[in-house]
Structure 1
Amino acid sequence: MSRTVTVGVDGSRESPAAVEWAAREARLRGVPLRLVGVREPLPGPLARAPFLGAESRQDWTVRSERLPRETADGVRLRHPDVDVTVEQHTGRPGETLVTAAKGSGLLVLGSRGLSGVGGFLLGSVSQAVVAHTEVPVVLVRAGERDADEYEPDPAGTGGPFAATGFRPVVLGLDTARPAEAVLAFAFEEAARRTTALRVVHGWTLPPYVAFGLPGDPEPYLEAYPEAYAPPYDSPYVQPYAEPGRQAAAHLAAVLRPWKQRFPAVEVVEDSRPGSPADHLVDASRDASLVVVGRRIRRSPFGIHIGPVAHAVLHHATAPVAVVAHG
């Protein structure tokens, strides 16, 4: 059974989008929404500064505590069917959010949109939380709207259209080490949205293609990349198609028991050569949610997210869920 959805609340412009996304997710799951605010104590020198009187310190405290309560009031008005609670903590935001999220089914944080291009600018707090919590974390960019999760309106108005439903959920899958926690999360999210799950798998080109030996089809593949997709029906690439067949067959074998477990979820298998991160970023443009995995590392030092998750978090245009696994 799903547990509480927790969302971090602060004064940034991306925070409202994260709160709204978390409220919609709590409604989909039928669970309470918990808003967590973290008040950082004033640095020692500033706290002792003679020009910062008791009244200023009290005002700073009141404003930091008021924000989560006011945010919760707004959520209750917009989502009356969601049970909303508020918690206020004091401490370092990254460490405090990791502790506060324990026992939650999901933690949602905001991420600043990159100026001029689609994607995320992952802040130090978000990066630390993603790297150290074992709770699934969803990063939501500033400006994310309810309408962005739905297929385009065929009437051309740009808003959500009831007949189209949610855009697909996209899963980045490492078939060499498929993680059950990541697969389960992605299938469950697609099932909740009654939408398709697009499973993206990138594989490495064999050396005789990657290094352009005589007779290779690289120029042809640049013009016709679908030649490396099933059913590999171009005679020109037949000698080079076997790696693609093997990768597609392996992907199908990994997904077979999950398709049986979730028969109502339409699964689109997308196996192609090249960078998994690049393929996931491309797929995010038409996704309601992108799901990637992160291997759990017990070291308390350093930020360990993984190159694919790191790239997707910075460049995807849809909300990104990072699911920790062993």
Structure 2
Amino acid sequence: MTPTLVAGVDGSPQSRAAADWAAREAVRRDLPLHVVHAWPWQPLTGPIAQDRGTEARRADDVLKEVEGELTHRFPGLDLTAEVLSDAPVQALLHAAKDAEMLVIGSRGQGALAGFLMGSYGRQVIAGAGCPVVSVRSAHGRPAAVPEEGEVVVGQQGGAEESAGVLRVAFEAAAARKAPLRAVRAWSLPPVYGYSPGSMWIADQFGGLEPYEKAALEQALEPWRLKYPEIEVVAHVEQGNGGQVLLTAASDAQLLVVGRRVRESALGAHIGSVAHAVLHHSVCPVAVVPHP
């Protein structure tokens, strides 16, 4: 099956910006783009009269308008579009089930208002099995980011744990012919969190910071070999993960972070680092699920 990019639209300028970004990414990677618009028919209770046919035409018009804009701006794009009769979260998760990437706007209308601030955004980002890219907008277009900027990726844990996140970042850098900055943030553990075993490992590397640098280089090694054409900067810094990444990505084209695949009794979670960068990053943010 050919990998496909999926973009969710709802008629808002923010979602149009997401569709525009997704189209550019599809052209870069020579991939098809599937644009979806969720339209669940739920008659309102009250004095407001609703006509199913009229509402359905409005849904079609939203999609046709976006489709027309993208066809005009990207004439070589392999583009399909579809109205999905389901609630937004379920529709997007279903459409992205086998997708290479799902692209959404950072704000929406209707049920998606305040997308990243509310439960809808968390459900989509935490529930998707593929990377989800959040795109900010300015006047209905993706917010201006430097086209010559780096791709920045946050690396955590061991080489195997971060492999999926690094794969997405290296693929994005290769598609853009851009340099890659791999960032590993670390902090001193509480004094009672030190264990003889962990301190012995750190001591073999001459301290905690050299240990963190060695861990990052180990994670990067197979990807450097696979993508020798990419200029890679290994960046290790002590501090809060979200803050370190936001500073490193201030002039980036794309910021890539991971989220653990997990569920709890309180529902889906995206993690504190992903939460911070989604709210404050100017450039698009890709959130990649990993074990």
Answer yes or no: same fold by TM over 0.5. Answer: yes
Is 2:170 aligned against 1:187?
A: yes
Cα RMSD (Å): 2.4
Distance of 1:2 and 1:286 partners within structure 2: 32
Is 2:248 aligned against 1:289?
A: no
- Quick one: which amino acid aligns to residue 80 of structure 1? P
Distance of 2:141 and 2:49 partners within structure 1: 40
Shift of 1:179: 2.1
- Quick one: which amino acid aligns to residue 216 of structure 2? L
The aligned counterpart of 1:263 is 228
Unpaired segments of 5 or more residues in structure 2? 109-114, 192-205
Match of 1:112, SS? coil
- Aligned pairs for 1:115-154 (under 5 A) are 121-143=116-138, 145=141, 148-151=144-147
Greater Cα shift, 279-288 or 191-200: 279-288
Distance of 1:193 and 1:107 partners within structure 2: 18
The aligned counterpart of 1:77 is 72
Equivalent residue in structure 2 for 1:106, among 101, 123, 126: 101
Shift of 1:176: 4.0
Is 2:209 aligned against 1:244?
A: yes
Match of 2:16, SS? helix
The aligned counterpart of 2:181 is 198
The aligned counterpart of 1:93 is 88
Shift of 1:206: 6.1
Shift of 1:40: 2.4
Q: Is the 8 A contact 2:13 2:141 kept in 1?
A: no
Query: Which is higher, the Rg of structure 1 or of structure 2?
Result: 1
- Quick one: which amino acid aligns to residue 61 of structure 2? R
Q: Give the 3 Å change call, closer, same or farther, for CA 91–185 of structure 1 in structure 2.
A: same
Q: Is the 8 A contact 1:108 1:140 kept in 2?
A: yes
Q: Give the 3 Å change call, closer, same or farther, for CA 170–66 of structure 1 in structure 2.
A: same
The aligned counterpart of 2:58 is 63
Is 2:269 aligned against 1:277?
A: no
Q: Give the 3 Å change call, closer, same or farther, for CA 141–123 of structure 1 in structure 2.
A: farther
Shift of 1:321: 0.3
Distance of 1:186 and 1:58 partners within structure 2: 44
User: Under a length normalisation based on structure 1, what TM-score does the superposition of the two structures give?
Assistant: 0.76
Q: Is the 8 A contact 1:68 1:86 kept in 2?
A: yes
Distance of 1:122 and 1:7 partners within structure 2: 19
Q: Is the 8 A contact 2:14 2:141 kept in 1?
A: no
* Count of equivalent residues: 269
Shift of 1:193: 0.6
Shift of 1:269: 0.7
The aligned counterpart of 1:172 is 154
Distance of 2:87 and 2:143 partners within structure 1: 34
Percent identical: 42
- Quick one: which amino acid aligns to residue 37 of structure 1? H
Unpaired segments of 5 or more residues in structure 1? 114-119, 152-165, 209-240
Distance of 1:34 and 1:250 partners within structure 2: 38
Distance of 1:2 and 1:298 partners within structure 2: 30
Match of 2:258, SS? strand
Q: Deviations over 1:171-226 (max 9, x none)?
A: 00103463211111111111111011101111113668xxxxxxxxxxxxxxxxxx
Shift of 1:12: 1.9
Is 2:49 aligned against 1:52?
A: yes
Distance of 1:45 and 1:9 partners within structure 2: 26
Q: Is the 8 A contact 2:101 2:132 kept in 1?
A: yes
Shift of 1:299: 5.8
User: Under a length normalisation based on structure 2, what TM-score does the superposition of the two structures give?
Assistant: 0.85
The aligned counterpart of 2:22 is 22
